[in-house]
Amino acid sequence: MRKILFLALSAFLFGTVVYAAEMQNNDMANFIPEAQIVSVINQLKESNQPLCETLTLRIERGVRQVADLWRESDGSPEEFANFCKTSFIADPAQLSMLFDTLERNFEILTGYLHRINVLLMRPLHLEGPPITPVDMMFGAYNVSAHQNADMFATKIAFLTALNFPFYSLEEKTRLGETWTRKEWAYARMGDRFTTRIPAALQQESSRAFTASEAYISNYNIYMGRLRNANGEQLFPDGMRLITHWGLRDELRSQYADTEKGLERQRMIYQIMERIIDKSIPQEVINSDKYTWNPISNTVFDEGREIRFSQEPDTRYEMFLGNIRAMMNFDAYSPRYPTQMQRAFSGGMEIPQEDIESLFRNILSSPLTKEVATFISQRLGRPLEPHDIWYTGFRSSGGIPEDDLTAITQRKFPNAQALEDSIPNMLIQLGWEPERARRIASLIVVEGSRGAGHAWGAAMRDEPARLRTRIGADGMDYKGFNIGIHELGHNVEQTITMNDIDFYSLTRVPNTAFTEAIAFLFQRKDLELIGLENINPEEEHYLALSKFWSCFEIMGVSLVDIQVWEWIYENPNATAAQLRDAVMRISKEVWNTYYADIFGVRDQTILSIYSHMIRRPLYLSNYPIGHVIDFQIGQYVEGKNMADEIDRMLKQGSIVPQIWMQGAVGSRISEQPLLEAVEKALRVLR
């Protein structure tokens, strides 16, 4: 056993990786004959008597996993047979030793490669000088692109796949309830090498992702340069909003303004529509040189109307670039041969059909019309399409957003001030002081060039990074609200990296769970600046707020899913054809679930989300996160939130349904939310 490890690790450190050979032999057709596979399985069974069910499964599945991944460049069929017979480990103690060694070394490799990527991406992610072409080149460089190829060239991947079998999602869900923590860790080790994607394709994916991320991060509208039909300026000088997050959040904030709020909302909505259909003038994107009337779509230079150029199909070219990069992985993913399967059954570990069923159950619920009527009564007018972002359920203690911004700018003039406040925030949320300081010591706050994000570490004792926009006058309320959301991510990332018993089980089951924790934190933002609002009806308004958020984002997610289904049916589509398909699908989903609610058809607004462009098939994590968040929120009510979060997160990355069972005593379901909404409507009426 020691000899195997020494040879494998030495080859990794000192061997020559034959990338050209890999690229020449990268098709998924099995190189190893079936007769050879059966022969090796039988020989291993014979030499490892007495057999048990677990050992039989490991032999049969391990040999076939290696055969599926073996290429001619890796050696002859005879060399394959010899590798399997000399590298298979039957003894439990030696298998445990191998597992410990792999865990240690994978953490080192993954952790330090991640750290390099963080540093290379700093000019693209953080506020600073303008991005240069060289910054883009280094940002697009994926330092870990060759890692998978290296693992196969050195046989480390084969050693892992041979000894730690892959279990399907169905098997994990069915068997996992009785597994020990070590068995779960072994199963996750078996997930590590299920594909063999060439480094060149991974590098191309990194380039596409970086280009789309830079495009979105620098897509800003200077709101002080907007004018209405009377030539009036509706937004303050210096307000620069990113699509879609900044525009959406500003639209939400305008519900507090009964004088000009509705006009501003309609203007923002028109901007969003022009971004989607590409009628937006190129001259007003990320520029404050001209004034612009988004309603009439006229551009002025010092009061004189000028001709402009519409933005080309850049948005859809970026989208298509990411789609193509992901589809290039299909041929190398035998267990999940489409990006949709990889995203749902492989990544989220919730089948696509289950997700869509949950979404449609809420979107089609009779409660949608009842909640819409409730909102209309509160607004004193019929609903308009932009009211999918209605936020009036949430209490701000009657404080206008400008006043909230004054508070947050005073408290958080820069990133360091927010970072310094994190220990006390965690104490407010229920963590013991020493525990709060330990978690906070592993969170770094940085001013974001984009809307903001949380970026967790990939090894223990490395910091997670909280990125949010911080203006020259300090952090406004929108930035703070986003920052607290990201803090929730960071706390999850820190706990699940540093407090989990096995590195293979670090993190949560999928990103919907980290979104759920982030939403839980985000709801506490006012409390964290000393503005706790005691309202006996708060739980009912929370249920309505969560339901309406699901109603909005589930439609967005269905558009995302259906666009991917369309592209698989039309793999040679152009950016212009993709644009038309996105708009058509957006209208279809709108007409199915929203038109009767809002009294208008053929709206495209469900495709405004920037995630569609820069984060393939991510959007479904948000509504699932809302559902999970509501279940967790109900469970922790009246308990110490910090203790419960610690307990739940220490389960690590077991499959979602078993995680939820352990966390709150039931599996993921929309039913608790629907029941709470029904009760809320009865009480509040």
Residue 596 lies in a domain: yes
Q: What is the pLDDT of residue 9?
A: 35
Do 46 and 188 sit in the same domain of this protein?
A: yes
Do 138 and 49 sit in the same domain of this protein?
A: yes
Do 424 and 499 sit in the same domain of this protein?
A: yes
Q: What is the pLDDT of residue 146?
A: 85
Measured distance CA(119)–CA(466) in Å, rounded: 14
Do 71 and 30 sit in the same domain of this protein?
A: yes
Q: Which residues lie closer than 8 Å to 439 by C-beta, 6 or more apart?
A: 426, 431, 491, 494, 495
- What is the rounded average pLDDT for all residues in the chain? 92
Do 523 and 568 sit in the same domain of this protein?
A: no
Do 385 and 458 sit in the same domain of this protein?
A: no
Measured distance CA(257)–CA(261) in Å, rounded: 5
Measured distance CA(626)–CA(639) in Å, rounded: 20
Do 246 and 348 sit in the same domain of this protein?
A: no
Q: Are 447 and 127 in contact (CB under 8 A)?
A: yes
Q: How would you write 231-295 as a 3-class SS string?
A: CCCCCCCCCEEECCHHHHHHHHHHHHCCCCHHHHHHHHHHHHHHHHHCCCEHHHECCCCCEEECC
Backbone phi and psi for residue 536, each to the nearest 5 degrees, phi listed first: -65, -20
Q: What is the pLDDT of residue 534?
A: 60
- Name the β-bridge partners of 226: 292
Q: What is the pLDDT of residue 5?
A: 37
In the structure encoding, which two tokens stand for residue 157, read together?
Answer: 């991947």
532 pLDDT more than 80: no
640 pLDDT more than 60: yes
Q: What is the pLDDT of residue 533?
A: 63
Residue 333 lies in a domain: no
Q: What is the pLDDT of residue 541?
A: 92
pLDDT in tens, 321-378: 999 999 999 999 988 999 999 999 999 999 999 999 999 999 999 999 999 999 999 9
Type of residue found at 562 = Q
621 pLDDT more than 80: yes
Q: What is the pLDDT of residue 415?
A: 95
Do 263 and 291 sit in the same domain of this protein?
A: yes
Residue 209 lies in a domain: no
Q: How would you write 511-560 as a 3-class SS string?
A: HHHHHHHHHHHHCCCCHHHCCCCCCCCHHHHHHHHHHHHHHHHHHHHHHH
Do 386 and 455 sit in the same domain of this protein?
A: no
Count up the domains in the chain and report the number.
Answer: 4
2 pLDDT more than 80: no
Do 97 and 82 sit in the same domain of this protein?
A: yes
Measured distance CA(240)–CA(506) in Å, rounded: 38
Residue predicted with more confidence, 156 or 13 = 156
What is the rounded radius of gyration, in angstroms, for the C-alpha atoms of the chain? 26
Type of residue found at 171 = E
Closest among 482, 614, 615 to 214, alpha carbons compared: 614
Residue 676 lies in a domain: yes
Q: What is the pLDDT of residue 398?
A: 57
Domain that holds residue 303: 215-315
pLDDT in tens, 373-425: 999 999 999 999 999 999 888 654 557 888 999 999 999 999 999 999 999 99
Q: What is the pLDDT of residue 502?
A: 98
Measured distance CA(340)–CA(557) in Å, rounded: 13
Contacts 24+ apart (CB under 8 A), 283-290: 283/308, 283/309, 284/221, 284/222, 284/225, 284/308, 285/219, 285/220, 285/221, 285/311, 286/218, 286/219, 286/220, 287/222, 288/222, 288/224, 288/225, 288/240, 290/225
pLDDT in tens, 433-460: 999 999 999 999 999 987 789 999 999 9
19 pLDDT more than 70: no
Q: What is the pLDDT of residue 81?
A: 98
Q: What is the pLDDT of residue 283?
A: 97
Type of residue found at 339 = Q
Do 644 and 559 sit in the same domain of this protein?
A: yes
**Of the residues 469, 494, 529, which one is the last residue of a structural domain?**
529
Q: What is the pLDDT of residue 29?
A: 53
Measured distance CA(383)–CA(520) in Å, rounded: 28
Counting residues of the chain whose pLDDT is more than 70, the rounded percentage is 95
Residue 560 lies in a domain: yes
Tell me the mean pLDDT in the region 293-314.
96
Measured distance CA(494)–CA(355) in Å, rounded: 28
Measured distance CA(219)–CA(239) in Å, rounded: 14
Q: What is the pLDDT of residue 17?
A: 33
150 pLDDT more than 60: yes
pLDDT in tens, 21-56: 333 344 445 799 999 999 999 999 999 999 999 999
pLDDT in tens, 566-595: 999 999 999 999 999 999 999 999 999 999
Q: What is the pLDDT of residue 26?
A: 44
Q: What is the pLDDT of residue 13?
A: 33
Residue 419 lies in a domain: yes
Tell me the mean pLDDT in the region 243-267.
94
Residue predicted with more confidence, 88 or 256 = 88
Tell me the mean pLDDT in the region 466-494.
93
514 pLDDT more than 60: yes
Do 564 and 617 sit in the same domain of this protein?
A: yes
Question: Which residue has 């906070």 as its token pair?
Answer: 440
